Amino acid sequence: MPKYSRRKMSALIALLSALIMLAVYYAAKIVFAPSASAEATIEAFDPIRETFSEILIVKQNGESMVPFKKILESFGAVVTWNEQAETVRASNPKNNFTVSIKIGDSKAVVNGLETAISIPAQIIDDIPYVPFDFIRQIPGVVISEDINNNLKIWSADIFIKRHGWTQLSNGLIAHAGGGLYKDENGEQIPQIYTNSREALENSYGNGHRVFEMDFLLTSDGKLAAVHDWQLVGGEKSSEEWKDMKIESMYDALFIENVYEFMLEFPDTFLVTDTKSFFYDDVTNIKQFEQLVNTAKKMDESLLKRIVPQVYDQHCYNILMGVYAFDSIIYTLYESPDTPGEVIEFVADCDNIKVVAMMWTQLTDDFYNALTYLSKYVYFFTINVPGEAEIFRMWGARGFYTDYINPKSMPMPANSKITLINLLPKIYKIFSPSSLIQGFVFFLILAFLFNYKSRNIK
């Protein structure tokens, strides 16, 4: 058998390694190529059935006017127009409503009862228009207006899949409503932890649909959206908080205001951070009762879109004693549990789908056990897209974030990344455009690995 020098043997090993890696890359490229069926699978997880309309919204004195006939017909109503009386009428036995409104009149008749409207109905481009705020009050009609003045028409029977929120926003949760930037002398200063209306609207416009909000009790027992009283100069009463401007410019919110936002945008979900580890059981119960009772008072369907965080097993039991939420996050940053205790606990809790933690808390054994139980791992708080993609390779399903835009993140995978799908990611960074360039890339990579291994020896 001929003898080869160490240098020649190293070159041969590098050459063979490059050929193998190139073959693996192209196999992975074929196996993991995106397909139409994959896109369809992702869409099937959307927790809310929705249709979007090209309907024009007309602004009158700062209020939105929308076409009466087109909207109500989309909900199955029969709409008629009386030319002589200049009256438009709609009826829908399924949703049990009849509506009659006369052009130019400041009143409408809904199910036989007169109702005042903010702006009289009017004809615009030969079409009857009515105020947005009026038409959304009609039974069975669910519409919303986004911050770009686009109108959404929702299914009359909104269907929310259990844990469906994990399939939205590409696995991202807007932390404290999401981060903002404040302009100071032309410099953009990051603003986080605002929990403000402005943060919610900005994040929604960027594609977020799942929002984490912090809540603490005011000195007189109202649930306010605030991360830490020390950040706003100390504890406030509800009267003081009502007039508060976060960072002197953002609107302070109560739980009612957050729910109002959710009712405006029916595709949103709220993750609550009530800091329950700060309080005794009596205070925790008061917090959770206010969370639940306010939702029941405003619109009980909100409870399907609220995802509370709990911090230990005792907190979970207190919450469930107040209301059995469909979906709950078990958050470990204040939990005394060991990974084994976490696994044992969440195994028996079908309404806990997500276990949230710092990335330093996740080990291979912990990840494998959670995956076996079909639980998702979320990390907090990640603000660099590159870091998020690396953590996805480790198996993280989602992240809390201040600034990552959902549109810039791919849909999460269902498993840890392996060699066969890691190589295309490395390859993509360098973007070689041909088979020869690809071979050269992997050859260089193989020589580097071989050189490193020889130096380690």
Tens digit of pLDDT for each residue in 63-89? 888 888 888 887 778 999 888 889 999
Question: How do strand 107-110 and strand 97-102 relate by DSSP bridges?
Answer: antiparallel
CATH superfamily of 164-417: Phosphatidylinositol (PI) phosphodiesterase (3.20.20.190)
- State mean pLDDT over 212-241: 94
What value does the CA radius of gyration of the chain take, rounded to a whole number of Å?
A: 28
Per-residue tokens: 72: 């109500």
Which helix (DSSP H) or strand (DSSP E) does residue 212 occupy?
A: strand 210-214
Q: How confident is the model at residue 139 (pLDDT cuts 50, 70, 90)?
A: confident
DSSP state of 254: B
Q: What mean pLDDT do residues 140-152 have?
A: 67
Structure-token pair, residue 157:
């029977």
CATH fold for domain 52-154: Copper Amine Oxidase; Chain A, domain 1 (3.30.457)
Which DSSP helix (H) or strand (E) runs through 259?
A: helix 255-264
Say how far apart CA 227 and CA 250 lie, in whole Å: 14
The domain ranges of the chain are: 6-33+426-456, 52-154, 164-417
- Of 146 and 263, the one with more pLDDT: 263
213 DSSP β-pair partners: 272
- pTM for the model stands at 0.67
| Tally: H helices and E strands in the chain | 14, 26
Distances (CA, A) of 268 to 2, 7, 165, 173, 408: 70, 61, 9, 11, 19
pLDDT digits (tens, 9 = 90+) for 356-408: 999 999 998 999 999 999 999 999 999 988 888 888 888 899 999 999 998 77
Q: What is the mean pLDDT of residues 441-451?
A: 53
Pick the residue with more confidence: 424 or 332?
332
- Band of the pLDDT at 96, cuts 50, 70, 90? confident
- Mean pLDDT for 242-253 is 92
Residue showing tokens 């509800």: 238
Helices (H), 336-413: 339-346, 364-372, 385-394
What is the C-alpha to C-alpha distance for residues 259 and 251, in angstroms, rounded to an integer? 15
